[in-house]
Structure 1
Amino acid sequence: MSFPENKLTVRSSADLATAVPYLIGFHPADGSIVVIACRDRRIVFAARDDLPAPGTPAHHLRELTAHLIPVVQRQQPITDLMIVGYGTKEHIDPALRVIDDAFTATGLAVRELLRVTESRIFSLTCSNPACCPPQGTPVDPTTSLIAVHATVAGLVARPDRAAVASRFTSVDSTGDVIRHATTEATARKAALETAGSTAVFEAGVHAVRSALRQHDNDTPLTDDEVAWLTVLLTHRPVRDLAVDLTQPHDQHVTFWAEITRRADQALVPAPATVLALTAWRCGDGVLAVMAAERALQVDPNYPLAHLLLQALHAGLPPSAFEQATTSTHPNPSIPNPNTPSEQE
């Protein structure tokens, strides 16, 4: 069984436990549930959520399952599922049974039910002590070839969700500097607006292209350049242009994470939403969700972030979102990305 692009082969439950953090981008905490959808023994989708706390009324678990099932069903065609829970036997095993029954009732075959407790993995579907001993199977990612191959393939498993968020959240170490640069950039944009929105858009074309080109050439943006870019991104056509020019690869994810991290707080929504879209197109749903949530923390009414988060929670593929936004928000003024700008 292999991941679709990186060709990592999973041969055992221990391999799977090692692989899960690379699938979702971080190590799940206790109380997590991970549902993995397969197509002909190839992993095509993984979703993580938090289980209700022990002692929580049963309907909370039913509500969680009612949300997960349609999300997984949208990944059709799939042939079977593997479900992994993290935590104590008393908390995880009953929840796994309920979730297993709910998925099975819909016609989805659950091939594996696994619990990870500390450094051991236990199977709820296999009673053969030769492969699934009752005391559990030790899991040591430091000695697993899965971890080695995942690292070589460029996959990263961060310690927790906070470590994912640290990629794009500011520590405010240069807050005063970026705020001053943003104030000057805002005044510069206001002066440009006297010439009309076309002038702002043309400046945005130049700023976005130059910024991406600098990043591709390993040239960091100055605070003034970050401030000017993020101010121009408040003009929706410029933001949409940035989405169009951004490519679905890790380098551009890193770029927009850096811009979001360095942006003045009030200007975070636009770059955070571009980051979310880019991460989603790269298959990093966790980062995409967290970046969209970051945009909405700053501006709860930011429309594109709302739309994106709804699509992510529904388990839709990026292509469905792109088709919807293209038909709903056409922008014929955006030039062909392969056509050089007159200002370059």
Structure 2
Amino acid sequence: MTKKNEPISSPAPDSGEQITLRSPAELADALPYMVGFHPTDSLVMIAVHGEAGRFGGRLRLGIPTAPDEWEDTARDVAECLVRGSERRGAKPDGIVLFLCQDPEPGESAQRVMTRLRPLAQRIRLACGALDVPVMEALCISDGRYWSYVCPDSRCCPPEGNPLAAPGTSVMAAAATYAGLHVRGTLRGLQRRLEPLRGPAAEEQLAALDRAAAALVPRILEGTSRQEVGAETLALAGTLLRRMAGAPPAAGGTPADEWDDALLGHDEAAAVILGLQDREVRDIAAEWMEGEEAPPALRLWRALARRCVGAYREHSAAPLTLAGWVSWSTGDEPTARIALTLALDVDPEYRFAQLLHRACNEGIDPEGLRECLRAERRRREPRRKRGALTRPPGRRKRTPRPAGRHTAGSEK
């Protein structure tokens, strides 16, 4: 850091207590707790405020593979973090930078550090141009860390320093006390939302083709959007109740595989196509809290995995819904990952754009939750009813029409 063992304070996860991090080693160990997961292949920047060095806004971006993109990337991330902090109330007094990337086959971790040094330097210059110094810049690779700022080889040797053993730091102790856990690696969290592969993907693709082929003639023959929307919501409600009522995964079966087995290919295809309607998607977004939220999140993740082949862009809807439920229930790191993936498949998907911006700017999701509650009350003024509000096991009722349906890309 700019001064040896200059302290930086961070709030303990979900508590009012402060944790003081006094060295690059403690900063490197604290990173997964600050972002909620191990940020593999990531550029992470954290704003620092005040004399006590309080952590503020955070930014994560995949490291661009092409070095000729680094100049523009450096300017963009510096501008984004500094201006975003100003909009939230205060310009940062400093920034802590992390570059996290594991070696390619045949590459050493030290080589990764050397290869990424020009990117770190560009970011330091971009932040300096905005009058915000980079107080520390760390490279983390293959269980070791290096400082791009500290020139003292006695504490920051060329071969790097090993990261602390997991769970042994003051930040780890605070997180354990608060009941929080690192959610795994970024790659692992992304994998839960990626399309199926192999024979299951081929079967799902065939089901999507069948559903699309059946839907177009129905609309041409006069089937209304309201009818298709109501069918989509009724089927989605059935699948949600199935998720909620299923026993836990047994015999070592991964949870996602267990959820995948609960959905038929044709069922999944019908709901995926139906969710392309904006109004249907917005009604489905009302499954956002309480007992509805956990099975809804499982359902949206499973449907995102079913968007295979030419239907990959259709995953923007279930990915956005997964991001929304995650954010609504307090899991901001997972929400950002899902929303980023939604924008990767459809950069113009408006709902994902709005949620991603709101989540990154620290806006309280309660405002949107209340809007959705009010819309639900308006649609059902006298009593809760329909597939979206019934607890698992209740007798099925016919839901009200969901509004206009479109098979296009209304967002």
Which residue of structure 1 lines up, in the alignment, with residue 96 of structure 2? 82
Pairing of 1:316-327 with structure 2 (within 5 A): 316-317=361-362
Of 156, 178, 184 in structure 1, the residue corresponding to residue 204 of structure 2 is 178
> After superposition, where does 1:266-281 map in structure 2 within 5 Å?
266=311, 267-281=314-328
Pick one of 214, 221, 239 that aligns with 2:281. 239
Q: Does 1:201 find its partner at 2:229?
A: yes
CA distance in 2, matches of 1:317, 1:111: 23
The 1:62/1:196 distance shift into structure 2, 3 A limit, reads: closer
Among 78, 86, 89, the alignment partner of 1:65 is 78
1:210 equivalent in alignment to 2:238: yes
User: Counterpart of 1:34?
Assistant: 44
Q: 1:260 aligns with which of 304, 317, 329?
A: 304
Q: 1:48 to 1:80 in 2, by over 3 A?
A: same
Aligned residues: 328
Deviation, 1:241, is 0.9
Question: Displacement, 1:233?
Answer: 1.3
The alignment partner of 1:35 has SS state of strand
Contact 1:72 1:315 in 2 (8 A): no
Q: State the Cα deviation string for residues 204-243 of structure 1 (Å, max 9, x = none).
A: 3333333333323346432143233223212321111112
Aligned pair partner of 1:25 in 37, 51, 66: 37
What does residue 189 of structure 2 align with? 164
Residues 269-312 of structure 1: CA distance to partner in whole angstroms, max 9, x if unpaired? Answer: 3212322433455312541344213532xxx7655446556x37
C-alpha distance in 2 between matches for 1:74 and 1:108? 16
Residue 60 (structure 2) pairs with residue 48 (structure 1):
yes
Q: How high is the TM-score relative to the length of structure 2?
A: 0.61
Counterparts in 2 of 1:292-311, with a 5 A limit?
292-296=342-346, 302-305=349-352, 311=357
- 8 Å CA contact 2:190–2:338 kept in 1: the answer is no
- Equivalents in 1 of 2:25, 2:279: separation in Å? 48
Identity %: 20
Q: Hey, what's the Cα distance between the residues in 2 that align with 1:168 and 1:274?
A: 12
Alignment deviations for residues 134-173 of structure 1 (CA, whole Å, 9 cap, x no partner): 3254214446355687686243232x54x33321222143
- 1:141-156 alignment to 2 at 5 Å? 141-142=165-166, 144-145=168-169, 153-156=180-183
Aligned-partner Cα distance in 1 for 2:149–2:201 = 53
Q: Which has the larger radius of gyration?
A: 2
Deviation of residue 47 (structure 1)? 1.6
Q: Which stretch has the larger CA shift, 257-266 or 51-60?
A: 51-60
Work out the CA distance in 1 between the residues paired with 2:67 and 2:146: 20
Amino acid corresponding to residue 65 of structure 1 in structure 2: A
Q: How many angstroms apart in 2 are the aligned matches of 1:252 and 1:5?
A: 25
Structure 2 residue runs of 5 or longer lacking an equivalent are 1-9, 101-109, 248-258, 387-396, 400-411
Q: Is the 8 A contact 1:233 1:239 kept in 2?
A: yes
Q: Does 1:2 align with 2:11?
A: yes
> How big is the shift at 1:343?
2.7
Structure 1 residue runs of 5 or longer lacking an equivalent are: none
1:275 and 1:288 in contact (8 A); partners too: yes
Structure 1 residues 306 and 116, CA gap change in structure 2 (3 angstroms): closer
Distance 1:81 1:215, change over 3 A: farther
Distance 1:10 1:264 in 2: 46
Could you give the per-residue CA deviations for residues 297-340 of structure 1, whole angstroms, max 9, x where no partner exists?
xxx7655446556x37x9444558976xx79xx9997558x822
TM-score (norm 1): 0.71
Rounded Cα–Cα distance in structure 1 between residues aligned with 2:385 and 2:338: 30
Residues 1:114 and 2:138 aligned together? yes
Q: Residue type matched to 1:177 in 2?
A: E
Which letter does structure 1 place at the counterpart of 2:321? Answer: V
> Match of 1:134?
156
**Residue aligned with 2:341, SS:** helix
Distance 1:207 1:104 in 2: 55
Q: Structure 1: which amino acid aligns with 2:398?
A: Q
Q: Where does 1:210-229 land on structure 2 (aligned, <5 Å)?
A: 210-218=238-246, 220=259, 221-223=262-264, 224-229=266-271
Distance in 1 of aligned mates of 2:143 and 2:200: 40
